[in-house]
Amino acid sequence: MQASKLLIKYGGNAMINASLQQQIAEVIYKLKSQGHQVSVVHGGGPFINQSLDSAGIQSEFILGQRKTSPEAMQEIQKTLIGEVNANLVSAFCNAGSEAIGISGLDAGMVQVKTKN
């Protein structure tokens, strides 16, 4: 098999099960061991929902997308960067991969405009 660049979307619901998370980390390690360049983009919906609920912040969904207030955005950033991303990097490293975690905020990689 020829080595390739792979982008894997790892959804938040798939992260809830620790055993499944370990299996995914092992698959990613195997792919990297075969010479593939693997990048993982993760979600975090269940973790975000729990974090917002704990902080008493209400969420509004429009056509399946979260409408995010500035207050909610701060909580979401803490959850995705400080919890979800950090846990995934740890899982990937524990499975043998060399992994780093970055966010769209780093180096201004992602910039957005508010939708009306």
Mean pLDDT over 82-108 rounds to: 94
Q: What pLDDT is recorded for position 93?
A: 98
Its domain, for residue 57, covers: 5-108
pLDDT band at 2 (very low <50, low <70, confident <90, very high): confident
Read off φ and ψ for residue 111, nearest 5 degrees.
Answer: -130, 140
Q: What is the CATH number of the domain that holds 55?
A: 3.40.1160.10
pLDDT at 104 over 80: yes
Contacts of 39 (CB under 8 A, 6+ apart): 5, 6, 7, 8
Q: What pLDDT is recorded for position 108?
A: 86
Mean pLDDT over 104-109 rounds to: 87
Note whether residue 114 is domain-resident.
no
Specify the number of domains making up the chain: 1
pLDDT at 33 over 70: yes
- Judge if pTM exceeds 0.75: yes
